[in-house]
Structure 1
Amino acid sequence: MHVTETTTLPRLVDDFLSWQFDRHPGTAAILGSLAHDRTLGDFGADFFTRYDREAAGWLERFERARTDDLDESVDRDLVISVLRGHLAKASWPAWRRDPTTYTAAVFFPLFAAFLNRLRPEHELVDSVIARLAEVPSVLAACQANLDPDLASPLIVARAAAQARTGRAFVTRTLPGEVADPGLRAKVAAAAEPAAEAFDRLAAFLDAFGRTARGDWRMGEQLYSTLLRDQEVLGYGAAELHERGKVAYAELEAEIRALAGTDDWHAVMLSLQDDHPPTPEAMRVEYEAETRRARAFLVEHGLVTLADGEECRVVPSPAFQRPILSVASYMSPPPLTSARVGHFFVPWPPEEFTADQVEQRLRTNSRAQLATIAVHEAYPGHHWHLSWLATQNRPVRKVLRTPYFSEGWALYSEKLLKEHGYYSVETVGDAAKARAQELAYVEARLFRAARMIVDTALHCGDMDVAEAEAFMTTKASLTPSTAQGEVNRYCAWPTQAPSYLTGALEIERIRDEFTGTQREFHDKLAGSGSLPLGLARRVALGR
Structure 2
Amino acid sequence: MTLLDDFIGWYFKENPLRAALLGADGYDHTLGDFTEAAFTARERAAERWLERLSAERAPGETVDDEIDRELVLSHLRGSVASARWPEWRRDPAPYVNGIFAALFTPFQQRLKPEAELVESAVARLAEVPAVLAACRANLDPDLAADLLIARGLGQARTARRFLTETVPGLVADPVLRARLAAAAEPAAAAFDDFVVFLSGFTAGGTWRMGEELYSTLLREREMLGYGAAELHEKGRRAWDEIDARMREVAPRVGSGEWGENWRAAMESLMDDHPETLEDMRAEYEAETLRARDFVRDRGLVTFPEGEECQVLPSPEFQRPILAVASYLAPPPLSASRSGVFYVPFTPEDFTPEQVRQRLRTNCRAQMPSIAVHEAYPGHHWHLGWMAGNPRKARKIFRTPYFTEGWALYVEGMLHEQGYFDTPATELAHLDCRIFRAARMVVDTALHCGDMTIEEAETFMATKASLSPGTAKGEVNRYCAWPTQAPSYLTGALEIRRIRDDYAGDLRKFHDQIAGNGGLPLGLARRTVIPG
TM-score by length of structure 2 reads 0.97
Partner Cα distance (2:351, 2:19) in 1: 38
> What code does the residue aligned with 1:500 have?
L
| Per-residue deviation, 1:66 | 2.8
Residue 324 of structure 1, aligned match among 310, 322, 325: 322
Residue 271 of structure 1, aligned match among 262, 269, 276: 269
**2:235 pairs with 1:244:** yes
**2:359 pairs with 1:370:** no
Partner Cα distance (2:40, 2:515) in 1: 35
- Aligned partner of residue 367 in structure 1, secondary structure: coil
Partner Cα distance (2:183, 2:102) in 1: 16
| Per-residue deviation, 1:541 | 2.2
- Aligned partner of residue 217 in structure 1, secondary structure: coil
Partner Cα distance (1:493, 1:446) in 2: 17
TM-score by length of structure 1 reads 0.95
Residue 79 of structure 2, aligned match among 81, 86, 93: 86
Q: Contact 1:303–1:518 (CA<8 Å) still a contact in 2?
A: yes
Residue of structure 2 in register with 1:20 after alignment: 11
Deviations, residues 252-282 of structure 1 (Å, cap 9, x unaligned): 0000111023421111111110000100000
Residue 226 of structure 1, aligned match among 213, 217, 242: 217
Residue of structure 2 in register with 1:428 after alignment: none
Residue of structure 2 in register with 1:118 after alignment: 111
Partner Cα distance (1:86, 1:117) in 2: 31
Residue of structure 2 in register with 1:3 after alignment: none
Residue of structure 1 in register with 2:205 after alignment: 214
Deviations, residues 85-144 of structure 1 (Å, cap 9, x unaligned): 011011110000010110011011111110112221111111110000001110111111
> What code does the residue aligned with 1:192 have?
E
Residue of structure 2 in register with 1:201 after alignment: 194
Gaps of 5+ in 1: 1-7, 424-432
Residue of structure 2 in register with 1:97 after alignment: 90
- Aligned partner of residue 365 in structure 2, secondary structure: helix
Residue of structure 2 in register with 1:494 after alignment: 483
Residue of structure 2 in register with 1:300 after alignment: 298
User: What are the residue-to-residue correspondences of 1:285-364 with 2, within 5 Å?
Assistant: 285-364=283-362
**2:244 pairs with 1:253:** yes
Partner Cα distance (1:535, 1:200) in 2: 46
Partner Cα distance (2:398, 2:465) in 1: 29
| Per-residue deviation, 1:379 | 0.3
Partner Cα distance (1:386, 1:447) in 2: 24
Aligned length: 522
Deviations, residues 397-451 of structure 1 (Å, cap 9, x unaligned): 111100000000000101111111012xxxxxxxxx1110000011110000000
Partner Cα distance (1:314, 1:393) in 2: 31
Residue of structure 2 in register with 1:63 after alignment: 54
- Aligned partner of residue 379 in structure 1, secondary structure: coil
* % same residue: 62
CA RMSD of aligned residues (A): 0.8
Partner Cα distance (1:27, 1:197) in 2: 23
Residue of structure 2 in register with 1:426 after alignment: none
| Per-residue deviation, 1:203 | 1.5
- Aligned partner of residue 312 in structure 2, secondary structure: strand
> What code does the residue aligned with 2:52 have?
R
> What code does the residue aligned with 2:522 have?
G
Residue 190 of structure 1, aligned match among 183, 186, 193: 183
Residue of structure 1 in register with 2:254 after alignment: none
Residue 122 of structure 2, aligned match among 124, 129, 133: 129
Deviations, residues 369-400 of structure 1 (Å, cap 9, x unaligned): 00000000000000000001111011111111
Partner Cα distance (2:147, 2:52) in 1: 39
**2:498 pairs with 1:509:** yes
Gaps of 5+ in 2: 252-258
**2:423 pairs with 1:434:** yes
Q: Contact 1:25–1:39 (CA<8 Å) still a contact in 2?
A: yes
Q: Contact 1:321–1:346 (CA<8 Å) still a contact in 2?
A: yes
| Per-residue deviation, 1:65 | 2.5
| Per-residue deviation, 1:17 | 1.2
Q: Which moved more, 1:140-149 or 1:11-20?
A: 11-20
- Aligned partner of residue 240 in structure 1, secondary structure: helix
Residue 165 of structure 1, aligned match among 158, 161, 176: 158
**2:529 pairs with 1:540:** yes
Residue of structure 2 in register with 1:74 after alignment: 67
Residue 520 of structure 2, aligned match among 513, 526, 531: 531
Partner Cα distance (1:366, 1:376) in 2: 16
Moved over 4 A (4+): none
Residue 453 of structure 2, aligned match among 464, 475, 484: 464
- Aligned partner of residue 342 in structure 2, secondary structure: strand
> What code does the residue aligned with 2:303 have?
L
**2:391 pairs with 1:393:** yes
Deviations, residues 149-180 of structure 1 (Å, cap 9, x unaligned): 10110111011001111111110111111111
> What code does the residue aligned with 1:52 have?
E
Q: Which moved more, 1:13-22 or 1:211-220?
A: 13-22
| Per-residue deviation, 1:506 | 0.2
> What code does the residue aligned with 2:17 have?
G
Q: Which moved more, 1:480-489 or 1:119-128?
A: 119-128
Partner Cα distance (1:460, 1:368) in 2: 32
| Per-residue deviation, 1:493 | 0.2
Residue 142 of structure 2, aligned match among 146, 149, 165: 149
Partner Cα distance (2:108, 2:24) in 1: 15
Partner Cα distance (2:56, 2:519) in 1: 19
Q: Contact 1:448–1:497 (CA<8 Å) still a contact in 2?
A: yes
| Per-residue deviation, 1:302 | 0.4
Residue of structure 1 in register with 2:403 after alignment: 405
| Per-residue deviation, 1:34 | 2.7
Partner Cα distance (1:31, 1:173) in 2: 23
- Aligned partner of residue 36 in structure 1, secondary structure: coil
> What code does the residue aligned with 1:147 have?
D
User: What are the residue-to-residue correspondences of 1:29-68 with 2, within 5 Å?
Assistant: 29-66=20-57, 68=61
Residue of structure 2 in register with 1:420 after alignment: 418
> What code does the residue aligned with 1:512 have?
D
- Aligned partner of residue 420 in structure 2, secondary structure: coil
Q: Contact 1:216–1:491 (CA<8 Å) still a contact in 2?
A: yes
Q: Contact 1:169–1:319 (CA<8 Å) still a contact in 2?
A: yes
Q: Contact 1:70–1:541 (CA<8 Å) still a contact in 2?
A: no
Partner Cα distance (1:124, 1:216) in 2: 37
Q: Contact 1:380–1:412 (CA<8 Å) still a contact in 2?
A: yes
Partner Cα distance (2:211, 2:185) in 1: 44
Q: Contact 1:70–1:538 (CA<8 Å) still a contact in 2?
A: no
Partner Cα distance (2:43, 2:371) in 1: 39
> What code does the residue aligned with 2:359 have?
L
Partner Cα distance (1:37, 1:502) in 2: 33
Partner Cα distance (2:103, 2:506) in 1: 39
Q: Contact 1:405–1:529 (CA<8 Å) still a contact in 2?
A: yes
Q: Contact 1:158–1:323 (CA<8 Å) still a contact in 2?
A: yes
| Per-residue deviation, 1:201 | 1.2
Partner Cα distance (1:28, 1:215) in 2: 31
